[in-house]
C-alpha cells in the first residue's frame, strides 16, 4: 500500500470524516460507517486533503493538466488539489467547475475557471462514488460546452458497492463513459491498514467494526 494511502486512512479518522455506527444511506441501505466530507471544513484540513488528491493524481495520471470539480462539493476539491499538484509537478495545473444556475450577467455561462482546451488532460475530482449519475451528467455537460473528454475520475473513498441490481457501479460507469475511476483509498484498504492500529492513542477500527464492514461488503459488493 502506498504511503499516501496509509496517511490518508489516518487522516480520515483523525478528522472524524470517517465515522462508525449505523447510518441509513440515500440508497436505503444501513451502513456501519459513513464518509462525511463536510468535516474537511478548515483551511488546514482542506489543504491536507488537497495533498492526498494530488498524490493520487500524480500516481495515476502525472500528465494531468486540468481538474474539474462538480458543484458544489467538488469546487473546493478541485481548487485545493490543483494548488498542491501545481507545486508537486512544478507546473501550472488549471481548475474549473460548473454553476448549477446559468448566470446571465458579468462572466456569463456555466463554466467558472480555466476554460478547457483541446490539449488539456482533464480529471474530475469528487468525494465519493455512488451510482455515478451526477458524474455522467458532468461528463455530458463538459463535452457539450467544451468538446473535451475526461481522462479519469478521482474520488476520495471507494465504498466498493454494487447497485441494487447487483452490478458494480464503477464498472458500469466505465462501460458507459469510457472514463476510468480511481480512489485515494478503498474502504477495504482502510480496514486492512487501520484494524487494531492506534491513531493518536486510540484504536478506531477494532475487530467488531472491521467485521461489520466486511459483512456489509459481503452483502453489497461483488468483490
Just list the catalytic residues: 103, 105
Please state, in angstroms and rounded to a whole number, the distance separating the CA atoms of residues 3 and 47. 18
Beta bridge partners of 34: 19
Taken as a whole, the chain contains a residue count of 223
Contacts (Cβ under 8 Å, ≥6 apart) of 51: 4, 84
Cα gap 107→81, rounded to integer Å: 24
Span between the terminal Cα atoms of the chain, in Å = 18
Spatial distance between the Cα atoms of 146 and 32, rounded to a whole number of angstroms: 41
Neighbouring-strand partners of residue 97:
69, 112
Angle between helix 43-60 and helix 3-14 axes, rounded to 10 deg: 150
User: From CA 119, how far away is CA 115, in angstroms rounded?
Assistant: 12
Q: Which three cell numbers stand for residue 134?
A: 451526477
Amino acid at each position: 500500500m502506498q504511503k499516501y494511502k496509509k496517511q490518508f486512512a489516518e487522516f480520515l479518522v483523525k478528522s472524524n470524516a470517517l465515522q462508525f455506527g449505523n447510518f441509513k444511506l440515500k440508497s436505503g441501505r444501513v451502513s456501519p460507517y459513513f464518509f462525511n466530507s463536510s468535516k474537511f471544513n478548515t483551511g488546514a484540513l482542506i489543504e491536507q486533503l488537497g495533498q492526498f488528491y494530488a498524490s493520487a493524481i500524480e500516481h495515476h495520471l502525472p500528465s494531468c493538466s486540468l481538474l474539474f470539480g462538480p458543484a458544489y462539493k467538488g469546487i473546493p476539491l478541485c481548487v485545493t488539489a490543483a494548488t498542491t499538484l501545481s507545486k508537486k509537478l512544478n507546473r501550472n495545473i488549471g481548475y474549473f467547475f460548473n454553476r448549477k444556475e446559468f448566470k446571465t450577467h458579468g462572466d456569463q455561462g456555466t463554466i467558472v475557471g480555466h476554460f478547457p482546451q483541446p490539449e488539456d488532460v482533464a480529471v474530475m475530482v469528487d468525494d465519493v462514488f455512488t451510482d455515478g449519475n451526477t458524474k455522467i451528467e458532468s461528463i455530458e455537460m463538459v463535452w457539450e460546452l467544451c468538446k473535451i473528454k475526461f481522462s479519469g475520475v478521482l474520488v476520495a473513498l471507494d465504498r466498493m458497492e454494487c447497485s441494487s441490481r447487483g452490478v458494480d457501479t464503477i464498472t458500469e460507469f466505465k462501460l458507459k463513459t469510457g472514463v476510468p475511476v480511481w480512489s485515494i483509498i478503498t474502504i477495504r484498504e482502510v480496514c486492512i491498514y487501520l484494524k487494531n492500529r492506534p491513531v493518536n492513542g486510540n484504536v478506531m477500527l477494532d475487530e467488531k467494526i472491521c467485521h461489520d464492514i466486511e459483512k456489509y461488503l459481503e452483502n453489497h459488493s461483488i468483490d
